[in-house]
Amino acid sequence: MARYVLRRILLALPALLGLVLLTFVLVRVVPADPAAMLAGDAATPAQIAEIRARYGLDQPLWQQAVTHVRQVLTGDLGSSIFSGRPVVEEIGFRLPATLELTFVALLLSVVLGVPLGLLAALDHNGPVDQIVRLLSVGGLAIAGFWLAIMLQLVFSMELDLLPLRGRMDVALGNPPRFSGLFLLDSLLAGRFDMAGNALKHLVLPAVTLCLPGLASIARFTRSGVLETLQKDFVLYARAAGYSPFRLATIYVLRNAVTVTVTQVGLLFGALISGAVAVEAIFDWPGLGTYAVQAILAADYKALLAVTLVVGVVYAVVNVLVDVVQALVDPRVAEQLK
Amino acid sequence: MRLFATLLAALMLFATPQAGAQQRPLVWGDTLPATLDMHAVFDVPSQFVLLNAYDGLYRYQGNDLVPWAAESHTVSADGLTWEFKLRPGIRFHDGSTMTAADVVYSFQRLLALKRAPAAAFTPVLTPENVTAVDERTVRFVLSQSYGPFLAAMPIVAILNPRVIAPHVKNNDWGAEWMAANDAGSGAYVVNPANYQARVSLDMARFPDHFMGWAHNPRAIDQVRSRPVMETSTRVLSLMRGELDSTDSYLPTDQVERVDRNPRTRVAQDQSMRVFLLRMNNRKAPFDNLDVRLCFAHAFNYEGFNNIILKGLVVRNAGPNPNNLWGNPAGMEPYKFDLALARQHCDRARAAGAPLGRDIEIHVQTELEQTVQAAQMFQADLRRVGVNLKIVPNTFAGIVTATAAANTTPDMWVHWVSAYFIDPENWVGQMYDSRFHGTWKASSWYSNAEVDSLLTRARTSVVQAERQELYAAATTIIFRESPDIWVYNTVNLRGLSRRVQGYSFSPVGSGGELRLMSLSE
Amino acid sequence: MRRLLRDPVATLGLLLVLFAVVVAAFAPWLAPYPEDAFESHLLQRLQPPSREFLFGTDYLGRDIFSRVILGTRNALAVAVSVVVASMLIGVPMGLVAGWRDNWVSDVLMRITDIFLAVPQLILALALGQLMSPGLTTAMAALSLTYWPFFTRTVYAETRRLRGALFVDALAGLGASPSRILLLHVLPNAAPAILVRATIGMGFTILTAAILGFLGVGAAPPSPDWGLAVAEARQHLPESWWFATFPGLAILLLVLGFNLLGDGLRDVADPRLRRSRR
């Protein structure tokens, strides 16, 4: 098992190195020149050139790439050109916010998606199945940014139930920083008022973000369950008089878990992408808003770092997913050998 | 399951509001600058930090320049030697006293870093020419006389070298530390522990500020700055009471709604921020005066200012804001007149101007007005047979493109804000060819006579003379129509009604917290 | 096909897609004010839905009904070009990588992994800056991030098929690998590709709308739906019609493609077919 895990990690490494290079090429070819922005309004072209030289922006692109890769390998992502602070520190603040949001959204999709998929499978081709399908496919079809604005208007403005923006009421301050996940940190600090408040702030963005995930998990659970229901051992059990519901929950669902776990890995990437628009609208200070700000300001150091971090998170999640899958179903590990 | 029970309990607990809360902090919803280092950044959002956490030698109050950390100044007859006398007993946030040496340090740091706020000074000032005459007197010797010198003084924050010194790394003047910390003397103290760039900035009142607090018995003690990215979220948050202010560019369509809300109001103040459509005068067809005049007459000023923006702006005839000195008397703004526009365009076509090609206009996507103006202009230009193509871009992208004439777009849309109140900020830096390659001068206009008038105005320190020179230059520029000047901004800031004492200045858009109080 | 039509939900999807295709084909004739693609009428801005303007007017006084109709072309054009471009990259790579287990296959799949790991929207945003933002850029960015899904699908199908009896037989008869891949494996993988393509259409329309919303998609005054929602957000809730109708249009078309894809998947997937007895 340990060997499998190791092999899985080693397989991810070249992909990450490739990612570093690819992002560099993409981001650095962006024509926006931070030097002109830094120098300000009344700067002369000579002053701009001087700043460009100071930040190494005048070197040939390949040389900048080599420097960049070397820095990244030593764990140094550089400083944001605009804020002047180490990018690692800024991402340290932003990443937990995004992780908290995506994790809760993922949880919602699983908690709602699996039962829906199960119900649909049990009523295969029946009315429940069709309704669930329509709903879940509809979830995949709604533009998150549009839904987000609608939810704000209904639940914050009209019904006055939930906050519009941010992670916590301003008056409450922030919980003591431990993991950066406000929900967890508040609970650890015993501040239940803060945890409740953080939860309230999470509702709208997480609901918006969870819909596509919910839809695909429901769909894959459905087909996983259907497939398992055809298996011989289930047919025997059925013949032995087990009710389909009991069968479904005990045997079938366990088998369907494998399918769901795989989906979680794939979904994670989609969730982080989706977070860009959702974070912007709910003013969630995560990586998505950071990326947008970096793009608007041509802060390529920050942009490179975000892309890289998201890539790494994605790779880690997928390694984890594979490992979990191998634990649930030893055949997976066999296959890889 | 236990976790769920805990969460449920937490929610219940939250449902009962906590009693005995003292004054709720002010929650400021305007944009934050990327860094707190006031020597590294100089843009509209940075003014909020500059005005509240720091002090300069002079400061703008309303449209006027008033002595601030300096109580007075003198200037030699040749305009080269300036001496500023500091007020006695100014305290930094660490309790130490501000001396002339601190001012010298601050200017040397500014000039060494050479970032945006230094740009106004580097052409005329070198670090060794800033000296302390005595404990409270600073002397500047300029390499050539510079009329706007005093007007630019509020740009420079006076920093406390004693708190920076322990954090200097590789000769960086403490730049990394300063980006997220406080070394000021201003009326409010930054709490670095809660600072997160562009997300949150918490400040507390500084009771020992040298201006005292007698003017404002109910001053605000705690300030939470929470910028909001999305305009719609920002406005809704204000109306719901999650924020006490928006930025000062509330969409005009929202003004009525915010004013109607019992909790909120809109402060309307004429600013000095000119909205204009640029033309690249170096590139055909805009090297042809008739084309430029055709375009100037094809913009529907009335429709844009009065219908789309609901009259919440003021028509501005030229590059300088109307409410600034240095404008020629009786300048009649260009009018929307498609028949006249067509005549000019026909004449230009006859002279061989390539009006058949697509003219690209770059807009700043995140700023809706630039997009609206371009779309409206596009529809009207079509009527005179010109095809305008709208290209979405960002300010950063456009600034880069304007570094050279051949990469500068045909047209682009933006504002020129008040960084200091002097015609140099507008007409001086926009149309003197010495600034070619900067975004302000990106119409690539060049006229030797104008250059000479503007240079003389820049180097003179006699107000009456400068006034005349700027007026003369503006007259010529206006006639040659290098750009399309549309309006001067009325700043629209949504405020919660509990905010009192809000007072506007074109520099900083009224974000000076010292003057505000909360009624509750 | 008959099996597909027996499925009411999938039929609904097919109808929605067909409807959109018809609307797109005849858009200039169906739209009551086709010139509102670019024309502005300031005096009638932000008017609520009425008999004259079924969906109301936008912030420049343009008829939203006409613009939603005209925008259908945009949406379909983006979807089709992105999916076709992704297929052109992804399908050959999947075929080659899936045919043999060797270093070529390894390299190709690692490259696929790299592109899968790049956050799609961030890549698109960065590319939007790289080339000037606009519809072409958005399409390029989307194709660049969507092809790996085709590679994955085709890879899996090819691996499954290469062990099949008929492939062995063909190889035994001396057929060249490229011949086997193109004439025999590809047609057998077609149903899986078709399903992926249909779902990709819906996905692309949605992502393009998000890009339009974030300002790196279609350029104004294009009647793009995502752009319209972006322009409308500052006018909510007073001018609710401004955001609602373009938003609904996105919803319906994406829903159509997804339902269709879902139905096709059930038809194409042999395992599920068996369960349909």
- Summarised one tens digit per residue, pLDDT across range C150-209 is 998 898 888 888 877 777 788 788 878 888 888 888 888 888 888 889 888 988 888 888
Chain B: closest CA distance from residue C23 (Å): 25
| pLDDT tens profile B337-391 | 999 999 999 999 999 999 999 999 999 988 889 999 999 999 999 999 999 999 8
Rg (CA), chain B: 25
Residue C46's nearest CA partner among C189, C186, C243, C185 is: C243
Look at C134 and B392 and tell me if their CB atoms are within 8 Å.
Answer: yes
Look at C120 and A269 and tell me if their CB atoms are within 8 Å.
Answer: yes
Pairing of strands B64-67, B58-61: antiparallel
Look at A42 and B14 and tell me if their CB atoms are within 8 Å.
Answer: no
Token digits of residue A290: 């950071």
CB-CB neighbors (< 8 A) of A41 in chain B: 42, 116, 119, 419, 429, 438-440
CB-CB neighbors (< 8 A) of A295 in chain C: 125-126, 129
Question: What is the mean pLDDT of the segment spanning C122-140?
Answer: 74
CB-CB neighbors (< 8 A) of C111 in chain A: 18
Nearest to A285 among B7, B9, B196 (CB): B196
Q: Is the omega angle on the peptide bond into residue C237 within 30 degrees of 0, that is, cis?
A: yes
Q: Is the pLDDT of residue A325 over 80?
A: no
The pLDDT assigned to B16 comes to 42
Q: What CATH code is assigned to B35-188?
A: 3.90.76.10
The pLDDT assigned to A252 comes to 65
Q: Which residues pair with B517 in a beta bridge?
A: B219, B500
Q: Are B414 and B383 a contacting pair, CB within 8 Å?
A: no
Name the residue ranges covered by the structural domains of chain A.
Answer: 2-73, 94-297
Q: Is the pLDDT of residue A332 over 70?
A: no
Residue C235's nearest CA partner among C48, C41, C37, C42 is: C48
C184 interface with B at CB cutoff 8 Å: no
C-alpha to C-alpha distance for A170 and A181, rounded to whole angstroms:
16
Q: Which residue has the higher pLDDT, B514 or C1?
A: B514
Pairing of strands B388-393, B359-364: parallel
Q: Are A121 and A251 a contacting pair, CB within 8 Å?
A: no
Give the CB-side neighbour count of residue C68, counting CA atoms within 13 A: 24
| pLDDT tens profile A129-164 | 888 888 877 888 888 888 898 899 899 988 999 999
C26 interface with B at CB cutoff 8 Å: no
The pLDDT assigned to B13 comes to 45
A237 interface with B at CB cutoff 8 Å: no
ipTM: 0.84
Q: Is the pLDDT of residue B399 over 60?
A: yes
CB-CB neighbors (< 8 A) of B114 in chain A: 39, 47, 50-51
CB-CB neighbors (< 8 A) of A288 in chain C: 121
Token digits of residue B392: 């979405």
| pLDDT tens profile B444-469 | 999 999 999 999 999 998 999 999 99
Alpha-helical regions (H) of chain C:
2-5, 8-25, 27-30, 64-99, 103-117, 120-130, 135-162, 165-172, 177-179, 186-214, 225-232, 240-268, 270-274
Nearest to C272 among A226, A276, A295 (CB): A226
Q: Is the omega angle on the peptide bond into residue C246 within 30 degrees of 0, that is, cis?
A: no
Q: Is the pLDDT of residue B263 over 90?
A: yes
- State the chains in contact with A (3 or more Cβ–Cβ pairs under 8 Å): B, C
Neighbours of C29 (CB within 10 A): 8
Which 392-421 residues of chain B touch chain C by CB within 8 A?
392-394, 397
pLDDT band at residue A267 under the 50/70/90 scheme:
confident
What class, spelled out in words, does domain A94-297 have in CATH?
Answer: mainly alpha
Q: Which residues pair with C70 in a beta bridge?
A: none
Question: What is the mean pLDDT of the segment spanning C97-119?
Answer: 83
Q: Is the pLDDT of residue C125 over 80?
A: no
Q: Which residue of B has its CA nearest to A82?
A: B34
B403 interface with A at CB cutoff 8 Å: yes
Nearest to C234 among B253, B303, B394 (CB): B253
Range among A177-186, B380-389, C239-248 with highest mean pLDDT value: B380-389
Q: Which residue has the higher pLDDT, A252 or C162?
A: C162
C-alpha to C-alpha distance for B508 and B51, rounded to whole angstroms:
7
pLDDT band at residue B2 under the 50/70/90 scheme:
very low
Which 85-114 residues of chain A touch chain C by CB within 8 A?
none
**% of chain C surpassing 70 pLDDT:** 94
DSSP class of B31 = P
C-alpha to C-alpha distance for B195 and B23, rounded to whole angstroms:
21
**For testing the chain C interface, which of B231, B308, B361, B367 should be mutated: the one with the most C CBs within 10 Å?**
B308
- State the chains in contact with C (3 or more Cβ–Cβ pairs under 8 Å): A, B
Residue B505's nearest CA partner among B232, B168, B221, B270 is: B270
Fold: same for B35-188 and B271-490: no
pTM above 0.90, yes or no: no
Name the residue ranges covered by the structural domains of chain B.
Answer: 35-188, 271-490
Token digits of residue C36: 């509102």
The pLDDT assigned to B11 comes to 46
Chain C: closest CA distance from residue A333 (Å): 17
Q: What CATH code is assigned to B271-490?
A: 3.10.105.10
Question: What is the mean pLDDT of the segment spanning C102-109?
Answer: 86
State how far Cα A55 lies from the chain centre.
32
C44 interface with B at CB cutoff 8 Å: no
B112 interface with A at CB cutoff 8 Å: no
Nearest to C234 among B231, B308, B393 (CB): B231
pLDDT band at residue B410 under the 50/70/90 scheme:
very high
CB-CB neighbors (< 8 A) of B35 in chain A: 82-85
Stated as kind and residue range, the H or E segment containing A41 is none
| pLDDT tens profile B318-329 | 999 999 999 999
Look at C110 and A14 and tell me if their CB atoms are within 8 Å.
Answer: yes
CA dist C265 → B520, C190, C273 (Å): 62, 12, 10
In which region does residue B200 sit, left (phi positive, over 0), alpha (psi from -120 to 50) or beta (all else)? beta
As a three-state string, the secondary structure of A54-66 is: HCCCCCCHHHHHH
Look at A83 and B399 and tell me if their CB atoms are within 8 Å.
Answer: no
Nearest to A22 among C118, C237, C247 (CB): C118
CB-CB neighbors (< 8 A) of C252 in chain A: 141
Look at C220 and B231 and tell me if their CB atoms are within 8 Å.
Answer: no
The pLDDT assigned to C159 comes to 84
Which 207-236 residues of chain C touch chain B by CB within 8 A?
215-216, 219-221, 231, 233-236
- Give the 3-state secondary structure of residue A7: helix
Averaged pLDDT score across all residues of chain A: 81
Q: Which residue has the higher pLDDT, C158 or B84?
A: B84
The pLDDT assigned to C270 comes to 53
Which 50-109 residues of chain A touch chain B by CB within 8 A?
50-51, 79-80, 82-86, 90, 93
Token digits of residue C196: 């992926």
Backbone angles phi, psi at C50, to 5 degrees: -150, 180
- Give the 3-state secondary structure of residue A143: coil
Indicate the range of A217-221, A284-288, B28-32 predicted with least confidence.
A217-221
Residue C244's nearest CA partner among C49, C76, C105 is: C49
- Dihedral sign, CA of A138, A139, A141, A143? positive
| pLDDT tens profile B196-234 | 988 999 999 999 999 999 999 999 999 999 999 888 899
Which 29-58 residues of chain B touch chain A by CB within 8 A?
34-35, 37, 40-42
pLDDT band at residue B12 under the 50/70/90 scheme:
very low
Q: Are B151 and B420 a contacting pair, CB within 8 Å?
A: yes
- Residue tagged 């029970």 (tokens): B5
Residue B442's nearest CA partner among B387, B486, B487, B483 is: B483
The pLDDT assigned to B347 comes to 96
Rg (CA), chain A: 24
CB-CB neighbors (< 8 A) of C38 in chain B: 375, 378-379, 382
Token digits of residue C247: 């938003």
| pLDDT tens profile A268-287 | 777 877 888 899 899 999 99
- Give the 3-state secondary structure of residue B137: strand
Q: Which residue of C has its CA nearest to A315?
A: C117
